[in-house]
Amino acid sequence: MSTLLARPAPGSVRSINPWAVFGLAAVAQFMVVLDASIVNVALPSVQRGLHFSLADLSWVVNIYVLMFGGFLLLGGRAGDLFGRRRLFFAGLILFSLASLFGGLAQSPTWLIIARGAQGLGGAIISPISLAIVTGTFDEGPERNRALGIFGSIAGAAGAFGVLMGGILTSSFGWQWVFYVNVPIGLAAAALSPMLIPADHGSDERRGFDLAGAITVTAGLVLLVYGLVEAPNKGWGSASTLGFMAGAAILLAAFIAIELRSRDPLVRLGIFRIRSLSVTNVSGLLAGAAMFAMFYFISLYLQEVLGYSPLKTGFAYLPLAFGIILSAGGASVLVTRFGFKPILAGGLILAGLGLFWLTQIRVDGTYLQDVLPPSLAIAFGLGLTFVPLTIAAVQGVERSEIGLASGLINTSLQVGGALGLAILSTISTSRFNDLLASHHNPSSALVGGFHYAFFAGGIFMLVGAALVLLLLGNTRVEGTSLPAGAMPLEPLE
């Protein structure tokens, strides 16, 4: 991913404006990020429309995140080997068709399959979009400017997605949060042969670790499935134990494959770098809390407070813009104080905000119960994201910056899936217990949310403790992130 995009020889083809290439890559990235946030607001409507159970609804988010995170590193490597233009085109077509398939879904299984295909398409598009932008501009001010705009567009897509999800769901139905991707993706695919210079991939005779990507993703899917189904089937049931055992076998197989492979998906020796290991574990925990927070806030606003999807979209905007604003200030703070205190402070602030959310009430209000803690979480997340990304590449050889930045994004995504599975299980178990104790459904639902938010706060504080105890501090000159460290996908 770190090699420059092959440029045509002078006079061999017509000149292409680099900012046109940038625009195409940015549109593709916008679509992928938009899809991560636009679905959250539509979840209650999806649940009613396709008759999802409360436990199974989390799979609409989980399968996308698992496929995206599991194949993210492979997507970047595939672009290097087989040509970025070719893989970029294929990823856009896959994402567009999967979106169409999702909008046409008639059952939970149908939609979950479509979301998995979307995640795979996103895992191809995101790293290749970044590589295209990096390779289109020479290193220096112009590339830094392009990468800064690229990151801002991704952040704007996250904020825009929650509002767009509300508008589309309220006006046309939940299906349109998927249909909206189809014209964008197909138009981008049609333009890619005209705007992206042809490249034929790397001449290096290196392997393609498909086995590693499949085993780690399959192992995580079995693990998440076992966690989600455990409240209904029992923790000691043959089904639950079987899924857990299958997950353990596949994840062990992944480690064995990586240790024996000449060209592993992940060189496991890189985890000997303490800063990388600590930040990836902290990122895993932060992702676990963040994804679940968005999920449960969406359900609380619509299922308990009775908000429409459109009103829910507007309710999310202060949180989304709070993340963007605080992330902008975080780079300045990291330059002055180093990444350790800013990262730890962000995790602690977000954790306290999650604890605050345990006070939400059945007869609560947005202004009193949701807005204040969500703003605390927003500023905490903004202060977390930038130093986390910077710390993840500290002490890493330049040739492996792409791997290190891919790993932190993978940790955030995989942590999100695992966290949502764990917190959904906690919430569902508490919900079932309260219903059995003759609480009304709304009260039982809120009681389950309380447990989930509390556990999310614990995740954040454990991440902060790891940072404070194990991570060294380094002041970073300048405020630009390394090109290879640009975040691939925000979490809204």
The domains of the chain are located at 15-197, 209-262, 269-492
Q: Are 408 and 281 in contact (CB under 8 A)?
A: no
- As given in the structure block, the two tokens for residue 144 are 């830094």
Mean pLDDT for all residues in the chain: 84
Q: What pLDDT does residue 284 have? A: 93
- 187 vs 30, residue with greater confidence: 187
* Tokens 């916008």 found at: 30
Q: What is d(CA 37, CA 323) in angstroms, rounded to the nearest whole number?
A: 14
Domains 15-197 and 269-492 share a fold: yes
Could you tell me the CATH superfamily of domain 269-492? MFS general substrate transporter like domains (1.20.1250.20)
- 276-293 pLDDT, tens digit per residue, is 899 999 999 999 998 888
- 232-249 pLDDT, tens digit per residue, is 788 888 888 999 999 999
> What value does the mean pLDDT take over residues 423-435?
91
Q: What is d(CA 122, CA 224) in angstroms, rounded to the nearest whole number?
A: 20
Between the ranges 79-93, 201-215, 245-259, where is the mean pLDDT highest?
245-259
Q: What pLDDT does residue 399 have? A: 67
User: pLDDT-derived band of residue 207, with 50, 70 and 90 as boundaries?
Assistant: low
- 157-172 pLDDT, tens digit per residue, is 776 788 888 999 999 9
pLDDT at 179 over 90: yes
> What value does the mean pLDDT take over residues 151-162?
72
Q: What is the pTM for the complete model shown?
A: 0.83
Q: What percent of the chain has pLDDT over 90?
A: 42
- 155 vs 131, residue with greater confidence: 131
Q: In one letter, which amino acid is 187?
A: A
Q: What pLDDT does residue 204 have? A: 56
Q: What is d(CA 396, CA 6) in angstroms, rounded to the nearest whole number?
A: 25
pLDDT at 17 over 90: no
User: pLDDT-derived band of residue 254, with 50, 70 and 90 as boundaries?
Assistant: very high
> What value does the mean pLDDT take over residues 111-132?
90
Domain topology for 15-197? Growth Hormone; Chain: A; (1.20.1250)
